Amino acid sequence: MPETNAAPELNGLYFQLLNEIGIINQLSRAAFEARLPDGMVLPQFAVINHLIRVQDGRTPLQLARAFQVPKTSMTHTLAGLEKRGFVEMRANPDDARSKQVWLTEAGRTFRQTAIASLAPDVAAFSDTLDRDELVEVIATLARLRKRMDAARD
């Protein structure tokens, strides 16, 4: 029995896509965390990574939005990073309610080490897609990501 929608099977394909994405995410998460030291967890690494990519000094709320997690979760993640000395929380000069998250030297070198230790895992399947395929699939997913982001009002 087909759906009653205007473009019925499209939805099914999107479900399938999100499903694949979920599985890959789970696989990479498991692999990543296996490499990270002791209790270090993927979101913490992701935050460091993000701060490198888009400059540090972000506020906790900006980070929470970037990762689509509740701000309480970000508070927790940042607390963990601060306890390990990978980030430093400073007051926001523009807004006394707010804070800024800055990477420490330890945080930066940790990222380098982590990426290096992750490389072999990536290398284990890096022959799957060639450069052109990678570039294309990244572009496609980025398009979808932006659209989804915009769609959530």
Partner DNA sequence: ATTGACTGGTTCGATATCGTACTAAATGGT
Partner DNA sequence: ACCATTTAGTACGATATCGAACCAGTCAAT
Interface residue list for its own copies (CB under 8 A): 3, 5, 7, 9-11, 13-31, 46, 49, 67-69, 115, 119, 121-126, 128-129, 131, 133-135, 137-138, 140-145, 147-149, 151-152
Task: Give, for 142, the enclosing helix (H) or strand (E).
Answer: helix 131-151
101 sits in which H/E element: strand 99-103
Task: Give me the least distance between CB of 128 and DNA, in Å please.
Answer: 23
Q: What is the DSSP string of 11-79?
A: HHHHHHHHHHHHHHHHHHHHHHHHHS-TT--HHHHHHHHHHHHT-S-B-HHHHHHHHT--HHHHHHHHH
Tell me how far the alpha carbon of residue 152 is from its chain's centroid: 18
Q: Which stretch binds DNA (CB under 7 A): 6-14, 70-78, 117-125, 143-151?
A: 70-78
- The number of residues making up the chain comes to 153
Closer to its own copies by Cβ: residue 31 or 41? 31
According to CB under 7 A, which one of 66, 92, 104, 144 is a site residue for DNA? Answer: 92
- Asked whether the beta carbons of 88 and 104 are under 8 A apart, the reply is yes
Closest CB 143 distance from DNA, rounded Å? 24
Pick from 3, 9, 33, 149: which binds DNA (CB under 7 A)?
A: 33
Please identify which residue in 5, 71, 106, 109 interacts with DNA, judged by CB under 7 A.
71
Taking the C-alpha atoms of residue 70 and residue 10, their distance in angstroms, rounded to an integer, is 30
**Contacting residues toward DNA, per CB under 7 A:** 29-30, 33, 39, 41-43, 59-62, 69-73, 75-78, 80, 89, 92, 95-99
